Structure 1
Amino acid sequence: MLSTPMTDTQTLPVIDVAPLVAGAPGRVGVATQIGAACRAHGFFYVTGHGVDAALVRRLEDLSHRFFELPEATKMQWRMALGGRAWRGFFPLGGELTSGRPDWKEGLYLGAELPASHPLVQAKTPVHGPNLFPDVPGLRETILAYMAAVTQLGHRLMEGIALSLGLPAAYFAERYTADPLILLRLFNYPSQPVPEGLDVQWGVGEHTDYGLLTLLHQDQVGGLAVHTPGGWIDAPPIPGSFVCNIGDMLDRMTGGLYKSTPHRVKRNTSGRDRLSFPLFFDPNFEARVQRIEGLSGAQARDDSAERWDRANVHAFNGRYGDYLLAKVSKVFPQLRDEVL
């Protein structure tokens, strides 16, 4: 697929990243397109990414099988059983954005670590084993999908580094040699919200926390992005991932690449909607620092303009500290387990 021009702020650009994935000479041109997209609106589609389409379809099929189970069955893998690893299933309305329940259910996953792993032994939050539902083939498919999309994340971060005039390995050497990987399988059912439940959106307005999000969405759609020109839809493009930058890349670039607010409409399509965001983030222990010498970076306090009134440029510390502060608001009932 050909890449779209970068001049239209009412549509998100589509970037063929095949040269970047292959390490081919054309990767510098791809990086230039990524940089333009990050400056314009912080969101872009990628094609030519090399993730097996059959693997994605298999994950969709198996996810539908899981979410079609009775809620009582799915609660066998509820998040409360995941403890500090912050893994497992949550039911409809079980996740909050800005204090309001989202109209979705989901399965929280991450890098699979055994109980014997040093980080798990040290009780490091958001590290540990997954709670894999008893759906034949789902465990293997999730792990294969995470591995493939994580590799794509490494290549895209190389492109982002090049787009900033940095060595391709800049982020890997400082933050993502061992990235914090979190995967979500979300289901947005097409069913009415019960009376009395304060639900407005599938997911309310928010920004992502870390470096880069790689999202597969099915053909139902519903994602909307708050660009400088206003809210626009990000409709599904077959065979693509939607990518967006997070708060930590905003901080690292001094606001040159902004983490962009986005939300998901309530699903009224008549059929369930699936989306699979994978969060490619700095290592939990990484100390996030501003990149020095970037032309155009300001690092100004833009909290008055942000959805959460937070100043990401004032943050100083481990990435894990930033993440946990956010976790405690999304799942307040799990705060004592994770923090």
Structure 2
Amino acid sequence: MHGLVAHDEGHVPVVDLGIAGSRSRALLAQTVAEICATAGFFVALGHGVLTDVVAAMDDATAAFFHQPTRDKLALLAEPGDPLARGLGRDGSLAGPNVSASAIDRAADDVLETYTMNRLGEPEHAEDLPARVDPVMRTPNKWPDLPGFRSAYTAYYAAMEQLQILNGQVRPMWSV
């Protein structure tokens, strides 16, 4: 893929976003779009996010998933929340993977996720246009873990600052 991606076949693509300074941002955006349409995700390098912010997020995530199951289940995402804020347990990593074997697809689902969104934070309640379904303003579900909320909101804010598509990242409701 255009020489901007470092990966071996069957592994998660790794993209250096910092390369846009020396190559075309349009080419970078095209590469990222292709990866998102095929793999669905990628590891980003050269993004400029402070390592302390990333480390705090990693530590908070590890602490969350090391909790007892009953503590995590207390934060189970509401079925009607389209952004699935909280603990997610449905889905499968093998399901959408076209190269997954039948054995992998039939295996017990052990996928767990945690999702939050700035739209679930009180200070962003008015960021959505009035015409948007109020369920989009569903509050985030936060675990009672020291530093968890601040680590996640700091990381989310840092990710929002990434403008890899020629500075044309648009909110989902503006489409």
Q: Offset of 1:136 from its aligned partner?
A: 0.3
Q: Percent identity?
A: 24
Matched, 1:47 2:45: yes
Q: Offset of 1:37 from its aligned partner?
A: 6.2
> Counterpart of 1:110?
117
CA deviation digits over 1:65-115, x for unaligned, max 9?
Answer: 22111111222222239857632124xxx3035698632222221113329
SS in 2 for 1:156: coil
Structure having greater relative contact order (Cα 8 Å, sep ≥ 6): 2
Matched, 1:157 2:152: no
Distance in 1, matches of 2:124 and 2:45, equals 38
SS in 1 for 2:161: helix
Match of 1:146 among 156, 165, 169: 156
Task: Normalising by structure 2, report the TM-score.
Answer: 0.64
Structure 1 contact 113–129 (Cα < 8 Å) conserved = yes
Task: Normalising by structure 1, report the TM-score.
Answer: 0.37
Per the alignment, do residues 9 and 38 of structure 1 end up closer, same or farther by CA in structure 2, a change over 3 Å counting? farther
Matched, 1:35 2:30: yes
CA-based RMSD: 4.1
Structure with greater proportional strand content: 1
Q: What residue identity is the alignment partner of 2:63?
A: R
Unaligned runs of 5+ in 2: 96-104
Structure 1 contact 89–108 (Cα < 8 Å) conserved = yes
Per the alignment, do residues 13 and 4 of structure 1 end up closer, same or farther by CA in structure 2, a change over 3 Å counting? farther
Structure 2 contact 87–115 (Cα < 8 Å) conserved = yes
Matched, 1:96 2:91: yes
> Counterpart of 2:141?
131
Structure 2 contact 87–114 (Cα < 8 Å) conserved = yes
CA deviation digits over 1:142-182, x for unaligned, max 9?
Answer: 00000111211xx1122xxxxxxxxx54xx4xxx1xx2xxx
Structure 1 contact 17–27 (Cα < 8 Å) conserved = no
SS in 2 for 1:96: coil
Larger Rg: 1
Per the alignment, do residues 32 and 113 of structure 1 end up closer, same or farther by CA in structure 2, a change over 3 Å counting? same
Distance in 1, matches of 2:113 and 2:48, equals 26
Structure with greater proportional helix content: 2
Distance in 2, matches of 1:102 and 1:81, equals 18
